[in-house]
Amino acid sequence: MTRASLSNAAARAIFLDRHGLMAPPSGPGKGANLAGVIHDLGFAQVDSVNTLARAHDMILWSRRQQYRPANLAPLMADRLVFEHWTHDAAVLPMAFFPHWRLKFARDQAHMDRRWDTWQREGYREKFAQVLERIAAHGPVTSRDVGEGEAKGSTGWWDWHPSKTALEYLWRSGELSITRREGFRKVYDLTENVVPPEYLNARPSPEDTVDWAMGAALDRLGFATPGELRAFFDILTVEEARAWAARALEAGIVKEIDVEMADGKWRRSLARPELTELTPPMPGNRVRVLSPFDPALRDRARALRLFGFHYRIEIFVPAPRRRFGYYVFPVLEGDRLIGRIDMKRTGGGLVVTAFWPEAGAALGKGREIRLCAELARVARLGGCADVRFCEGWRR
């Protein structure tokens, strides 16, 4: 039998629609509406880089442009979301917490194998002390523990023992992040943070495998077993492959051929009805995205599906950089049309350069739409105006 197929245009439209990037970015961007955005995405990555706005703020703003950074903290306070790890630190719907039990156990096993050689000695001896202090006196930050311990001097991960204990206990599920102060984590006992209905739920590992693969597929539209496994980064490769085999046999999914940007075809899994759906029609709105946007975090997929070779230039030595230190991808409709180098400086949004993709020249109409988006993103970043450096059109 001939497999069903998706053209590249249809695949791009479906993929971006599942990521909330085809519909107009309207809505209040707070409360239940914002919680719904996070649920639909699956997660929003948290990152400390703040040249304009933090990653999670820009990710959420891209879907709801009334969103402002202050809108997220009430979701944490109301226990509608929690913060933990997928492929990186992320904000997640609280309803997902029971399935993180499997990740807690696996992360703990990984830390037990690696951290004794990776971290400074003495952090295990701090577990009881940290837990007792929080139980007796309430939430703490890394500044509140480790009195008299030598502070790290060799980089981000050179933690003092009590800070390492906090991170270990968080990654293994005994502690949870109750809020952030600035960007600093505030840790509390998990039973004080997670509502009882989620705290006491104990899905089996098999239930979590089914949930994680199905939830990932619903948010991606189509994917290989490896891409589904990587979405939440909870499962093993073997678990993902076994689930795919069972789901195919049961008719829960089917194999389809998806056309890539280079005209080649890639076999993927999809829900049986996917190829019968009418893909949404792309508009011509220009959107500036976070470099950590969920739609682009898999750089290899971005290259295959959109023909967009994107990586954060932050770790590339300056002489080898083609682009700026921290560039933002630019989406127009269902196409990635370029990347822009900009930052908040002196109260304004300063645009250093825009590099168009091949075939996406910055004509008059496109420049007008780009400038309109820059005015919107400037408001998110608290910038009074937008300023363009000489020679910014590349």
- As a whole number, the mean pLDDT across the chain is 92
Q: Is residue 360 part of a domain?
A: yes
What band does 139 get if pLDDT is binned at 50, 70 and 90? Answer: very high
Mean pLDDT of 134-141: 96
Asked, for residue 295, whether it belongs to a domain, the answer is yes
With respect to residue 261, please indicate whether it lies within any of the assigned structural domains. Answer: no
Number of domains the chain is built from: 1
| Residue 54 belongs to some domain of the structure | no
Q: Is residue 298 included in any domain, yes or no?
A: yes
pLDDT tens digits, residue range 116-129? 776 667 778 889 99
Q: Which tokens is 166 given?
A: 């906090």
Find the domain containing 375 and state its range: 286-388
Burial class of residue 320 in the structure, from the number of CB atoms within 10 Å of its CB (0-12 exposed, 13-18 middle, 19+ buried): exposed
pLDDT of residue 32: 97
For position 339, which CATH number holds?
A: 3.40.630
C-beta of residue 280 within 8 angstroms of C-beta of residue 22: yes
Ramachandran region of residue 164, left (φ > 0), alpha (ψ -120 to 50) or beta?
A: alpha
Domain assignment present for 9: no
User: What is the pLDDT averaged over residues 344-355?
Assistant: 95
Lowest mean pLDDT segment, chosen from 203-212, 226-235, 269-278, 305-314: 305-314
Cβ–Cβ under 8 Å, residues 300 and 260: no
| Rg, Å, the chain Cα set | 22
pLDDT > 70? residue 222: yes
Do the domain assignments include residue 267? Answer: no
Question: Residue 369 falls within a domain, yes or no?
Answer: yes
| pLDDT exceeds 70 at position 295 | yes
